[in-house]
Structure formats: structure tokens, C-alpha cells
Amino acid sequence: MKARIGLEIHVQLTSLKTKLFCRCSADYRGAPPNTHVCPVCLGLPGALPVVNRKAVEHAIAVCLALNGEVADELVFERKHYFYPDLPKNYQITQYSKPICRGGYVEIEVRGRAKRVRIRRINLEEDPGRLVYPTGSPLTSPYSLVDYNRSGVALLEIVTEPDMEEPEEAAAFLEKLRSILEHLGVCDCGLEGAMRVDANVSVEGGERVEVKNIGSVSEVERALRYEIVRQASLLRQGGRVRRETRHWDPARKVTVPARAKEYEEDYRYMPDPNLPPVPIPAELVEKIRAQLPELPDERVKRLVSEYGIDRRTARVLVYTAKALADFFEDVVRLYPRDPQRTANYIVNDLLGWLKDEDLKPLYTRVRPEHVAKVMRMLDEGLISIRQAKELAEHIVKHGADPADLVEKLGMRRIADEERLRRVVEEVFRENPKAVRDALRKPKAVNFLVGMVMRKTRGQADPQLTRRLVEEMLEAVREGRLSLP
């Protein structure tokens, strides 16, 4: 089933210390309600907005990183609607001249590359937040408003409807998130830092907008649901009309939004308090020159610098900047075999980290710990299977792998002298097996097995086999006699 998908992504500029038009702290998460507010972000009469220069610079950087064209002036407009989260009854946003027009992002799904075009990027203020005492508007007897978020700098990134399946939308969002993280403008893992409205239509129907989805995997799920719903409606002879719906993550369905809520008569007008300001070309060029390494370049560098395969490099970079940083930190500590390190991070550690929350990677798992696992592997202290087993403990409990190996009784006996004594013991206790092994190479396995059993599986199997063979040779040559 072919679909058309276009996304509108709201991204908070979380690295800014203050809001878009006032000096209130933008670091509002976890703060008591209505403590990060002032006359400007509460919309009190007479209060005057002043643009946060850093927010403009961040918006320009995002525009350039997405290959867009930066506007020659900064123009703000008022968008009117009536909802308690908006204290002024209008939102300061952009309309006639967004800060960025055009641009594109390259994505790749199942080995097929394609471009998703960006239509525009608006710089705007975030509204406040409605808080429902029971957690749901349906069951709460009243709602509360928290204006701490009101006025936080937001980018609205609008794509063309260039995506054809939910996987492409997910690939686009992952790539976008990684670009924003590499630019250092958005810590997209923070609750509510990236919110998506997904527009989707199927052939023969109009587009439906699914509002306010909170994560990449939820966007994918919502789109999959919506495409099936629209297609089956059409198949049954129904019609798909243009409407706005909400994604219910608990029930995993989309539900119609009340039409009144989104009456689209915004009465846009220029904001007389914020006259247009020219954006100097020199400023744009200065920001372009200072753009950091972006995801595509980083993938190429990981491949050439460490010799890892492209697929793994892409997983590291596009899952989260933190994951790629983590990989490079481990390799800096232990440079041997970066491919194996990358595989371990992607295949073993990542599996134990919850969907989209990569915080534990840096708060619990330390690069030194993973470097230690790699070293123990090379020293033959642990097997590959044991390294995989350690991954779970390392992620869940942040434990030092060296301690874990002791605690879990994993330490391998790689000490040659110690192991040689065990082999001698086995030889003395099993003279018949030794005589068998001298004639039949297959019977050597029995002796190796006995050594493993005596050491409760902790002997290094390769070393054990070598010592057994050496000792058989000594018996054969008469250098060692048996009872």
C-alpha cells in the first residue's frame, strides 16, 4: 500500500539557557509549576519581547545543516488561537518569511537512498502545558496550566510529503535527531523536546493529520495504523476526509480530535513589537564555517578511521550521537579491533538499553568497562559467550566487568603453570584414557573434557588442548611416565 507522508516536527532548542523572548530560564523540566515565568512569557499587558540572539544562530545552523536557504531578514508574526496554554491568545511564530526555506535530508531504507525535501523551518515560541490531575483530560474534573514551558524557543520543521512508508518517516526522524544532536542544539531524548505531527494520505483519499506524537517508534506505529485504517475505509467504499486525529499510545489507535479544537482561522498579522531585522550574510557564512562534523561525514570517518563496516557505523551514528561518542571513547581507551568493539556495543549492549533512552549508556556504563571486556577477551580470560553474558550485567547494574567476572565465577584459567598441573593430575588419574588418546586422536577430547570438568569450565579450552597434546607427546617420547 503506497502512502504519502509529510511531517511537521517541533524541536525545542534545549541547549539555550533562556527562553526565546525573555530571560526566564528555559531549563524548566522538573521545576515547580509557574516558577520560570515573567510578564513577557505570561503575556501581561505592556511586556515587550526581545529576541534571543543565540536562538536565531541555532536556527540558522539547523537550516544550513539541512541544506536550506536562510532568509535575509528575521520576521515574526502573530498566530491567534484561543486555548488556555497560550497566555497572550496568540503565538509569536513565522508565516510570510520563515527563517529557512527549502533543503533536504538524505535517508536510506533497506539499502535504497532517497531525499526528503524540507519545505520550511519556523522559529517560534512553545506554548505552556496543560496538566490534568488524573493524567487524562477525559477523567479529570479540572485542568491546570503550567507556564514554565511558555516562551521556550522552538523550531517547526515542515517536510514535503516525500515519504511513502512508515519506515521512511522513522529513518528521516532518526537522521534529523542525529543532525540536531551533532549540532548541539537539541537533546532530543528529553521528554517533549521533539514532538511530531504526521500527515498521511493514501491514494483516493485526503490527508489526515495525526497530532503530537512523542517518539520515533510511536510515529512509525501511528502511521502504520493510520494507513491500514484509511485503506480499509476506502476499500469498503467509504471516504477519507481531511481531518485531525490524535494518537493514543496506550490503546495504539488514532482517534478523531474535536474539530473545534483546531479551527484554522489564525488571523496572522505582523508582530508590531518585533519589527523585521536583517540577517547579515556574513553572520550566515560565519555559522556555516563553524558547523561541526555532521552524521553523514561522521559515518564516513568511522569507516575510514577505524575500518568498521558501514552498516554498523550507521547504527552507531543514527541511533544517537551519544552512542557514537561512546564507541569512540572505548576505542580511544582500547584501540585493538574496533569492529569487534562496535559489534559488541551495537549487538550486545544496545539490546539491553530501553527503546530511545540512551542515557544509561553514559550514567551507568562507562567506556572503561567496555574497554576492560575487550581486553579480557584478548587475554583469553573470558570467552565470547561470557562477554555477551556480561553485557546484561554491565548495562543493568553498571558494574565493573573485572569484579563481575570474579563474582559470576567466570574467570578463566589462562595461567599455563596452573593448568599444566591440572592436566598432569588428569593424566595420572586416567592412564587408560591416555593410552587411548595416544592411538586415537579423537580420544583427546575426553582428556580435554576431564580438565574442563576439574576446573568447573574455567580452563581456557584452546590452551588446555595445547597442553594435553604437549603432554601426550611427552608420554610418547618417554619424557613422562605414567603409573
Which positions touch Zn ion (CB under 5 A)?
22, 24, 38, 40-41
Name all contacts of 443-451 with Cβ < 8 Å and 24+ positions apart.
444/468, 444/469, 444/472, 447/423, 450/426, 451/419, 451/422, 451/423, 451/426
Choice between 4 and 288, CB closer to ligand ADP = 4
Distance CA 69, CA 103 (A): 7
Only segment of 1-9, 51-59, 368-376, 466-474 that touches ligand ADP (CB under 6 A) = 1-9
Nearest residue to ligand ADP, using CB? 6
Only segment of 25-33, 45-53, 196-204, 222-230 that touches ligand ADP (CB under 6 A) = 196-204
Smallest gap from Cβ 296 to ligand ADP, in A, equals 23
Selected from 185, 200, 313, 349, the binder of ligand ADP by CB under 6 A is: 200
Smallest gap from Cβ 114 to ligand ADP, in A, equals 15
The three cell numbers locating residue 365: 556504563
Distance CA 347, CA 259 (A): 46
Choice between 8 and 168, CB closer to ligand ADP = 8
Choice between 178 and 201, CB closer to ligand ADP = 201
303 binds ligand ADP (CB under 6 A): no
Residue type for 55, please? A
Collapsing DSSP states into helix, strand and coil, what is residue 203?
coil
Angle between helix axes 166-183 and 216-235 (nearest 10 degrees) is 160
164 binds ligand ADP (CB under 6 A): no
- For the chain, what percentages of helix, strand and coil (3-state, to nearest 5) are there? 45, 20, 40
With contacts defined by CB under 6 A, how many residues of the chain interact with ligand ADP? 13
87 binds ligand ADP (CB under 6 A): no
Selected from 12, 91, 201, 230, the binder of ligand ADP by CB under 6 A is: 201
- Contact residues: Mg ion, CB under 5 A: 8
Distance CA 401, CA 364 (A): 12
- Residue 159 interacting entry, from Mg ion, Zn ion, ligand ADP, none, C-beta within 5 to 8 Å by type: ligand ADP
Choice between 8 and 181, CB closer to Mg ion = 8
Choice between 17 and 239, CB closer to ligand ADP = 239
Residue type for 392, please? E
Spell out the residues 6+ positions from residue 278 whose beta carbon is closer than 8 angstroms to its own. Answer: 72, 73, 74
Backbone angles phi, psi at 22, to 5 degrees: -145, 175
**Per-residue x/- mask for ligand ADP, residues 6 to 45, rule CB under 6 A?**
xxx-------------------------------------
Smallest gap from Cβ 122 to Mg ion, in A, equals 8
Distance CA 425, CA 423 (A): 5
243 binds ligand ADP (CB under 6 A): no
Number of Cβ within 10 Å of residue 131's Cβ equals 12
Smallest gap from Cβ 137 to ligand ADP, in A, equals 24
Selected from 150, 159, 312, 341, the binder of ligand ADP by CB under 6 A is: 159
What DSSP character marks residue 205? Answer: S
Are residues 125 and 154 in contact, defined by beta-carbon separation less than 8 angstroms? yes
Distance CA 394, CA 404 (A): 8
Only segment of 49-57, 157-165, 407-415, 420-428 that touches ligand ADP (CB under 6 A) = 157-165
- Which residues would be at the binding site for ligand ADP (CB under 6 A)? 4-8, 158-161, 199-201, 207
